[in-house]
Amino acid sequence: MPAIEVTNFTKHFGKIKAVDGITFTVEQGEVFGFLGPNGAGKTTTIRCMMDFIRPTSGTISLLGKNAHASSVEIKKKIGYLSGYVRLYEKWTGQEHIDFAKKLSGTSDGSNELIERFGFNPTIKTKELSSGNRQKLGLILALMNRPELIIMDEPTNALDPLLQNTVYELLDEAKKHGTTIFMSSHNLNEVDRVCTKVCIIKQGKVVATESINNLKKMRMYSVHAHFGKVVAPETFTNIGAEIIEHRNDFLTMKVKGDIEPIIHALAKLPLRDLKIEHATLEDVFIEYYK
């Protein structure tokens, strides 16, 4: 049984198609990154998973149950962190935790999380910095030791040290078989945490791949310093994309077979040459475009 099963999910807001028939599956124990440029439909999908909004068509199943029909039952097993943590300004962090504890009625690991994040729960939340608000959001999401964690940009506003604490917590959750579904713009984070990603653009899935497969994609960055001025058409005509061109210096991106480029380079007077595999960021940007 997959932990998340999204089938032909569509969400329209009037005439706007926020999500347009996406399908993907997240297996249990997987750490799944949900990526895409702003406005791609990531948050809309997450809101539908959480039953905040309802699909126009299609279905979403979480832990084998319909996300809408069995919403109450499913939420006993879900930890959720929104993209922007909204808090009751007059409550303290502890009041938020106690309220969530009473509503969820399950085991509580909040004290351990408070300690690990170095969070002071006695302060009213209107006095908290954005980083501390995010810490509280994470504590609220993880305190019930959920089977499925759904997070919209989990390390937003956290400093690098705390980001590492979050990664450690997610690693531990992963070891316990917890499924993690997260959206993120931080590609290093995706590379560090996720095992598989789904890239969404303009409401449609453009790729669902394991991180390893994405890294293996044949994309190269070529930096060449020539002994003379070279016309960029020499390379654009054989499929390269020029990133930077300055007199005798050229940086280009090559997708697919690099052999024709190497042949073209060999015919020119080279002073220096660097060919490297594209980074994960380059791969994502390629999909985002």
List of residues contacting another protein (CB under 8 A): 47, 50-54, 71-76, 78, 80, 82, 84, 86-88, 90, 96, 99-100, 102-105, 140
Q: Would you say 126 or 218 has its CB closer to another protein? A: 126
Shortest approach of another protein to residue 101 CB, angstroms? Answer: 10
Partners of 57 in beta bridges: 10
217: alpha, beta or left? (left if phi > 0; alpha if psi -120 to 50): beta
- Which string of b and e fits 199-223 if b means at least 16 CB within 10 Å? bbbebebbbbbebeebeebebbbbe
Shortest approach of another protein to residue 144 CB, angstroms? Answer: 9
Q: Would you say 53 or 264 has its CB closer to another protein? A: 53
Dihedral (CA of 234, 239, 244, 250) sign: negative
Q: Would you say 47 or 245 has its CB closer to another protein? A: 47
Q: Is 35 exposed, middle or buried (0-12, 13-18, 19+ CB in 10 A)?
A: buried
Shortest approach of another protein to residue 150 CB, angstroms? Answer: 9
* CB neighbours of residue 175 within 10 Å: 9
DSSP for 189-218 reads HHHHH-SEEEEEETTEEEEEEEHHHHHTS-
Shortest approach of another protein to residue 8 CB, angstroms? Answer: 19
Tell me the one-letter amino acid at 51. Answer: D
- Which string of b and e fits 5-20 if b means at least 16 CB within 10 Å? bbeebbbeeeeebbbb
Shortest approach of another protein to residue 219 CB, angstroms? Answer: 36
Task: Calculate Rg over the CA atoms of the chain.
Answer: 23
Q: Would you say 99 or 256 has its CB closer to another protein? A: 99
Q: Would you say 78 or 162 has its CB closer to another protein? A: 78
Alpha-carbon separation of residue 86 from 110, 165, 258 (angstroms): 18, 22, 49
Shortest approach of another protein to residue 82 CB, angstroms? Answer: 6
Shortest approach of another protein to residue 155 CB, angstroms? Answer: 19
Tell me the one-letter amino acid at 15. Answer: K
